[in-house]
Amino acid sequence: MRLRKSNKMKKNNGEIERDVIEIVGIAVSVFVLVVLIYSFMNTGNIEDSVFKHSLNPVGIILLTGFLDSFPNLVSSFFVMISAISAGMNIYSAIGFSVVGSLLGSLLGFFIGRKYLFSVVRLIIKKKDVDRVIEGINKYGQAFLLLAAIAPLPYLPMIFGAIGIKWEKFFLWGVIPRICAFLVYGYGFTYLV
């Protein structure tokens, strides 16, 4: 007797690609959380650690850039906070994080603008896209501003795909994001 897979169990290529992308995103998010937890446990004492290599300037730029261009479970602010708590100079941590966030935001926005929803559908679930569109329709630029400064995952790819103008994205998304890095970086330093 031969058993056949039900049509409900088969996955098309788009669902398989989305699953792979979600797994990569979760893996990067877990890595960032592990670095964050480890840096808190060993504040200022990360010199002899394997994490020293991920919290160097290039690692900070790449991690914040990746987290800002592709939606993840972890905000890119946590990379900067990890670097500061691991003993990196506050100005360097904020500066490298801002550069990574700027590059990641622009990359995500232009990927969304160029490929519209073909790429967005692979990375982001439809219900999440619908929530962002609903928020922009309801609150306008204030939604973009709130998304930029909130310590939640940032979604520039959706903003590009739904057709927000470049100037509005830069004014209401990128500039507030840079200011938020300054506030969170200095705020964390003074809290600890």
Q: What is the per-residue pLDDT across 126-144, written as a single tens digit (0 to 9) for each? A: 887 888 888 888 888 898 8
By CB neighbour count within 10 A (0-12 exposed, 13-18 middle, 19+ buried), where does 41 fall? exposed
- Residue whose pair of structure tokens reads 């960032």 in the numeric block: 32
For residue range 18-77, list pLDDT tens digits in order: 666 667 767 776 776 776 666 656 655 555 555 555 568 888 888 888 888 877 667 888
Identify the band that residue 174 occupies on the pLDDT scale cut at 50, 70 and 90. Answer: very high
Q: What is the pLDDT of residue 104?
A: 92
Residues of the chain above pLDDT 70, percent = 73
Identify the band that residue 106 occupies on the pLDDT scale cut at 50, 70 and 90. Answer: very high
Q: Is the pLDDT of residue 13 over 80?
A: no
Cα(147)–Cα(43) distance, rounded to whole angstroms? 29
Cα(64)–Cα(50) distance, rounded to whole angstroms? 19
Q: Which residue has the higher pLDDT, 90 or 127?
A: 90
Q: Report the predicted TM-score, pTM, of the whole model to 2 decimal places.
A: 0.76
Q: Is the pLDDT of residue 101 over 60?
A: yes
Q: What is the pLDDT of residue 7?
A: 42
Q: Which two three-digit tokens encode residue 88?
A: 């990196």
| Span 5-14, average pLDDT | 46
Four-residue CA torsion sign, 171, 21, 32, 97? negative
Cα(90)–Cα(161) distance, rounded to whole angstroms? 34
